[in-house]
Amino acid sequence: MTTVVNPAVRRHLMLAKLETFSEAELFTSVADPDMDWLTRAATARTFTRGQVIVPSSHRDEIVYWLKRGHVEIARPGAGGAVVTALEPGTLFGHMPLLGMSMSGLQAAALTDCSILVLDRVALENVLAERCHLALKFLDIVGRRLVEAEARLEDITFKSIPGRLASLLLRLAPNIDGRVQGYTHQDLAEMIGTYRETTTQTLNQFKHKGMVDIGRKRIDIRDREGLRRLAEQ
């Protein structure tokens, strides 16, 4: 088994954190009465295009619930990299209670945005009143931690083809098998390697009939073949 260690590994750790808090699953299956409690506890705010929502120096424990518009998560400063763009329905912010961290990252409005803002005290009050909701949050955060450990295990013990196969299967769990919206650079950072290596590995997968490749699109053609590679 081959392990490649380079500066992109640190970026992968940051992306793993990002995946933990960029899931709207925390709220998607919340019952209507609980949703009413959450929205009453939150403060509605609007941000104009280009406005910084969360500066990189921000340490207050706040979660932002994106209702309308798009938000960019990036590393600020010269040569700072864009990590991802968030869609409506996404949670982001800094709140260890929910397994969220934005250490060294900045959030800015890509378009005009409507956002609900929930601080730690407000959220704790809701969870204290709705214990079943607290259990749901605990279950989801726990599963996210298990998944993050699995990703780190991939980096430590798997070859680059194994890492990439495992990542593609995670990003395309549905039967249609389409991974969309990620550049080769994005994928490289998520598995802790270089873009050129990722492109070369994807081309190998394509040559073997495992995937088809388009612009920011990868269609899985041989899911079982990728699974065998990921499990090696």
| Locus of tokens 């929502």 | 53
Tell me how far apart the alpha carbons of residues 211 and 223 are, in angstroms, rounded to a whole number. Answer: 9
Share of the chain above pLDDT 90, in %: 21
Least Cα distance to 166 among 145, 180, 187 occurs for 187
Q: What is the mean pLDDT of residues 179-193?
A: 81
pLDDT in tens, 121-150: 888 888 888 888 778 777 777 776 777 677
pTM (whole model) above 0.75: no
Give the domains, in start order, of the chain with CATH numbers: 8-146 (2.60.120.10), 158-231 (1.10.10.10)
CB-based contact 55:106 (threshold 8 Å): yes
Give the model confidence (pLDDT) of 2-42 as tens digits: 444 444 444 444 444 343 333 445 555 556 666 677 777 88
How many angstroms separate the most distant Cα atoms in the chain?
A: 56
* Across 183-187, average pLDDT: 83
Instruction: Show Cβ contacts of residue 131 under 8 Å, excluding neighbours closer than 6 positions.
Output: none
What average pLDDT does this structure show over 80-103? 74
Angle at 198 between CA 195 and CA 200, to 5 degrees: 110
* DSSP character at residue 80: P
Instruction: Determine the pLDDT at residue 29.
Output: 53
pLDDT digits (tens, 9 = 90+) for 198-230: 999 999 999 999 999 988 889 999 999 999 998
Strands of the 217-220 sheet, one edge to the other: 178-180, 217-220, 211-214
**E strands along the chain, which residues?**
43-47, 52-54, 62-68, 71-74, 82-86, 91-94, 106-109, 113-119, 178-180, 211-214, 217-220
CA atoms within 13 A on the CB side of 182: 24
Specify the pLDDT at position 105.
83
d(CA 201, CA 156): 18
pLDDT tens column, 100-125: 777 778 889 989 999 988 888 888 88
